[in-house]
Structure 1
Amino acid sequence: MTITGDLDADGQDLVLTRTLAAPRDRIWAHLSTSALLETWFGTFEGDPGSGQVQVTMTAEPGDSSAVEYTIHACEQGALLTVSSAMGEDTWCLSVELADAGGAEASDSAGAPDRGDAADGAVTVVSLRHHAVPADMVQHIGPGWEWYLDRLTGAVTGGEIPGMDVWDSRYMTLAEDYARLTR
């Protein structure tokens, strides 16, 4: 498995992409509907229209408590930007959806994503972790690879990787992510 992320031109943001054989509205539903978000990430409570929701991550082991997420941008079917306190840090994340325009859909390893894009819709999903600390890229990159593979599986009906493959499939990417900061 090779990494799908890279630092942007300024070296500040970590950007990972997936190309899915699925329409943007289906992917958007997995970002904005709590029951579908739960299939790959977690749940949320509250009114997104208020600009804040409480998110409980359910994909990782252990007890999770709800964390407040602030919604900075929400353009249905196109862009979601949120931030949340993670310990002493604040994480700002954006997910952008764009029509692929003829690109072939693939998963993170370059294999077909097994989607059912009978309508021919192919969407590029770009996750941007804004201002990622350089010393955390090697830890954060593999985590977002895992979550994006989970999103891909949830949207397309493919594999949704669990923690059983975390060490063997995702932590092996840590050194490649560390090299991005050298």
Structure 2
Amino acid sequence: MLFGLSFGQLLATISPSVQVAALFNPFTTLVLTMFCGVTIPHVNNSFWWTWLYQLVPYTRSLAAMVSNELHGLKIQCKSDEFATFNPPANSTCAQWAQDFVNVAGGYLDNGDDTTNCRYCTYSVGNEFFTFLGISYSHRWRDTFIFLAFVGFNIILTIIASRFLRYAKH
């Protein structure tokens, strides 16, 4: 809300009319949501990702919120969320898949069974956001970077409202 309000005021201040300000909104909203790492994962290494991912304020707010809420959260999959598989003959689920689980994360629900093994992708919330490039240890840094974006918008709005005079006297 803080960023949306301050950014909207900035756009209104630098626009010569309401119609021009309304034309800025779809473009800026698209850029902010496309490159924050949610719509398209941040692991895309294209030209745009190298700088836009870091420049979009939503990246920081989402990283701070997600890492704070999911850190250490124990995950318990529901029955329809498990990936099921059958191990080779004469082996249990744990004998066949435990090495994979140790590397990939998650947990086996029925490690001693020999059929219908149930694997849950996540066992703790950190396994979800680490893949997205989010770190719990950076949550305060991300929060303050986000607040710096808000402060930048406010300062630029004040400067623009002082020096940009579109009204004809």
So what's the TM-score if we normalise by structure 1?
Answer: 0.24
* Structure with the larger strand share: 1
So what's the TM-score if we normalise by structure 2?
Answer: 0.25
* Structure with the larger helix share: 2
